[in-house]
Amino acid sequence: MSLEFEGERSEEFNSRLSLYYDELKGLYTELYGDNKACFDEFIAMLNEYYCERNDDLREWDEAKIINPDWYAGNDILGMMMYVNCFADNLKGLMKHLDYIEACGVNYLHLMPLLKSPRGRSDGGYAVSDFRAVQPGLGKMKELFNLAKMCHDKGISLCLDFVMNHTSEEHEWAKRARAGEKEFQDKYFFYDNWDIPNQFEQTMPQVFPTTAPGNFTYLEDINKIVMTTFYPYQWDLNYANPKVFCDMTANMLYLCNQGIDIIRLDAVPYIWKALNTNCRNLPEVHKLVRIMRIACSIVCPGVLLLGEVVMEPSKVTPYFGSVEYPECHMLYNVTTMASTWHTVAVKDTRLLRSQLDKVFNLPKEYVFLNYLRCHDDIGWGLDYDYLRQFGFDEADHKKFLNDYFRGLVFNSDSRGELYNDDERLRDARLCGTTASLCGLEVNNKEALNLDITLHAFLLTQSGIPVIYSGDEIGQLNNYAYHDNLNPEISEDSRYLHRGNFDWKAAAKRGKNRLFTAIMHLTKIRAEHEVFCNKADTWTIDTNNNNILGIGRYYKDAKLIALFNFSREEQVIYLDANQLDFSENYINLFNQAYRNRKYKFTRSDLEQGIKLEPCGFVWLLAEK
């Protein structure tokens, strides 16, 4: 290693750097050539942010180093929220941390809150300053104080890092627009359409309806700039080493404010090359690996969460390998969409097929599992698998969207379309979990379904994440239509981005859904069989309405059964699936004495009854 630093704590930095130096230099050279000056600048930047990390965060790092798998346990429960919807601003959020703690949440994901232009921000994903909080939400000092308060309560804080692009209002973009070549080189600027048209031949459009094309003509300067997402979001050119150095510095700055999980937004898109689709290119993985190394050196307690909203074959490579890991965690996108498909068709075969693939992955892979998030639900299902059962892709997408809007017989769901394209018939769906389950219309069956879906969420390995408001059954926010801001009133995703219902939260003790979810999360935290290291498998229930999952860890065995139909089902499991020499306890129903909570051999031989949209968690007695 040719670079060494002197000064306070330099020994620890040099020691960490030495572990990765050769690999780091090799990856950097593959991306940027033998550019010693830029590489030395990158390493010096790492040292700068290492030295700036305060003692409390260093202690936090040490605790995580001692327990590197801390995020893979059965006691982790996540919640995601918009600060303004939950509590107006950061100060309000700090006042309500006790509620979050009372929910058992120890992983808190705050949706984009960095400075962005009003009316042209895509919900905060067009950042104009990576080192400032949106003025209406507070200041960076308040985010720092919030992180400290969270750490004192054992809560890890997650924040989006929008790395593919900046807002057109970012200082770099303004200086690029003013004609400064150094800053134009941070983006993709062109004098004519020759190269942009070449890109367009192989580069898919992200929003063909609302933001067609991948480039925007800037009439005021007679230039063309790459804008993959929206015209006001200018793509950064990561082939420029200065861009990568500066953006990594921005990320580490946020880490030093106490952010524990960095969500790498739209990470598959960050490297562009002609004659490709500009997604998931090999260079992306090299960049992510370097970012993982940077965190390991500067802030080893920080985790990287990759936002890769694609099919499983494209998702899992972002874990890297055991020897050269990339992201610590990834989203389990396909299971989420397959779950709602199952709700609509009452047939679990696709969901079981999807889970078989996930369960066969290495246990080192940690997924974030969720029922709903801030975004829409896209129907990117495995249609090759579904075709054997007679499903046509376009017709099925229409059916799903009709079902969850309550347009199909016997559907109580209520949602709205997002990005409806009548020509492509490829609209996506919006709505809260409660409204999609039917709580606006049918209380009993919808409530059972909502509880069962959360039980299914908590049965999966990984980190379960609840979208704020789902725990109290918050319904759709139809008032968004009346908002005077067109960015909100014309975006149906605000259907499920309503303000948190504090009146309902105050009555949560009498809310059966809240009580059930809290009881489920408590059970999960008490039993190691739910941890990420457990063996998992799906069970052939001989009934397409019923999904069966098995879990085994340290001599503890759990059998979970989920009924997706609206009718009572009786399931008979044979001795290969259930050991009849054991008694089983229905963990969840122990709290409800009016139902059977212990199953003997005789009970099992007579079959297990599942109420409509109901479930059981059966734990073998030792």
Cα gap 101→107, rounded to integer Å: 10
- 168 and 176 Cβ atoms separated by less than 8 Å: no
Cα gap 131→115, rounded to integer Å: 8
- 149 and 162 Cβ atoms separated by less than 8 Å: no
Residues 6 or more apart whose Cβ sits within 8 Å of residue 27 = 286, 289, 290
User: Which secondary structure element, helix H or strand E, spans residue 115, and what is its range?
Assistant: strand 114-115
Exposed/middle/buried for residue 70 (C-beta within 10 Å: 0-12, 13-18, 19+): middle
Instruction: Assess whether 265 carries a catalytic annotation.
Output: yes
Exposed/middle/buried for residue 536 (C-beta within 10 Å: 0-12, 13-18, 19+): buried
Residues 6 or more apart whose Cβ sits within 8 Å of residue 575 = none
* Of 67, 8, 111, residue with least CA distance to 300: 67
Cα gap 359→537, rounded to integer Å: 6
- 164 and 240 Cβ atoms separated by less than 8 Å: no
Instruction: List, in sequence order, every residue forming a beta bridge with 156; answer none if it has no partner.
Output: 107
Exposed/middle/buried for residue 577 (C-beta within 10 Å: 0-12, 13-18, 19+): middle
* Of 150, 101, 97, residue with least CA distance to 260: 150
φ and ψ at residue 158, rounded to 5 degrees: -115, 140
Q: Which two tokens stand for residue 392?
A: 């046509």
Residue of 122, 169, 265, 440 marked catalytic: 265
Q: Which two tokens stand for residue 595?
A: 């139902």
Helices and strands (H, E) in the chain, number of each type? 23, 25
Residue of 61, 122, 168, 307 marked catalytic: 307
Q: Is 321 helix (H, G, I), strand (E, B) or coil?
A: coil
Cα gap 408→404, rounded to integer Å: 8
Cα gap 365→135, rounded to integer Å: 37
Pairing outcome for strands 366-370 and 329-331: parallel
φ and ψ at residue 17, rounded to 5 degrees: -60, -40
Cα gap 187→197, rounded to integer Å: 17
Indicate if the alpha-carbon torsion angle 591, 593, 596, 598 is positive or negative: positive
CA diameter of the chain:
81
For residue 264, give the DSSP letter: E
Instruction: Assess whether 307 carries a catalytic annotation.
Output: yes
Pairing outcome for strands 165-167 and 107-110: unpaired
Q: Is 543 helix (H, G, I), strand (E, B) or coil?
A: coil
Measured CA to CA in angstroms, residue 478 lies from 202, 240, 273, 415 at distances of: 39, 45, 42, 10
Pairing outcome for strands 463-467 and 78-81: parallel
Length of the chain: 622
- 66 and 358 Cβ atoms separated by less than 8 Å: no
Enzyme catalytic residues: 265, 307
